[in-house]
Amino acid sequence: MRVLLTGAAGFLGSHLAERLLKEGCEVIGVDNLSTGQRRNLDRLLAHPGFHFLQADVTRPLQVEGPLDWILHFASPASPPRYLKLPIPTLLVNAEGTRHLLDLALRKGARFFLASTSEVYGDPLVHPQPETYWGNVNPVGPRSIYDEGKRYAEALTMAYHRAHGLSVRIVRIFNTYGTFMDPEDGRVVSNFIIQALRGAPLTVYGDGSQTRSFCYVDDLIEGIRRLMEVDYPYPVNLGNPEEYRVLDLAHLVKELTGSPSSIVFRPLPEDDPKQRRPDITLARRLLSWEPRVPVREGLERTIAYFREVVAH
């Protein structure tokens, strides 16, 4: 297969590129490096099947030759990053998605949208199935990401219905693992970096809010399986095992052996109180469920970050 992958220098994009290259695919990786990391490209550029194009997908792309897939993973994804880049975040999910859908039509390619559990907002239904429409503040600070992804999903379905374009949509729940950006502000990377540096672990609110953490290898497996089925509607991928944020902080302290204290800060506006995927559909459609326990995944991630911090 010949694949165009946006967000290739990002955490998930670089893992997906690596998986596709191992399977013998040719991958054209696109990234504007606004939040992607050049070091994530190093292991990809050594592969003869990988080609990097530094470009902004909010403008139309010119790509030579045929394409089998367009995989749209470009977007700031952690709250600190997208809150600093509000307009680019909206545009990459609106104009970027439109340009890539148009390119898919021109190339006769299938289209894959990386969406997010954030489309459920601060959910009133728990756990969240794909049939739940969400509880999103459309003008709150997080709306730039939440509504951007909701629009991207709507646009993708419109191209599917109007043009018969073959599409896939994945709603990704909290994912962690190697090659995360240590400074991106997500809870797992925050806690690990703070613990390794002996700094206080920052918990927002009282830490009773819950998240579900999926190791990156499990997520990539789910994405590959979704590419192989003909199903255009959203599919949740995530770990249905639920953790309180405060319990995660204690687990990271234990696994790192850190003497760090825990400090509490005010909860950000519209921060979800609970988040857990209903993966009934993924189990039925893809025969998929996460296999890496959180403790094991954290140990792998901590080992990676120890090397990052050491350098």
**Residues with a known catalytic role:** 145
**Count of CA atoms in the C-beta half-sphere (13 A) of 19:** 19
Residue 6: name the closest of 48, 83, 67 by CA.
Answer: 67
278-295: string of b/e by CB count within 10 Å (b at 16+)? Answer: bbebbeeebebebebebe
Amino acid 276 reads: R
Task: Give the C-alpha separation, 89 to 67, whole Å.
Answer: 26
Phi, psi of 185 (to 5 degrees): 85, 5
The residue behind tokens 């489309």 is 119
Mode of pairing for the β-strands spanning 175-176 and 214-215:
parallel
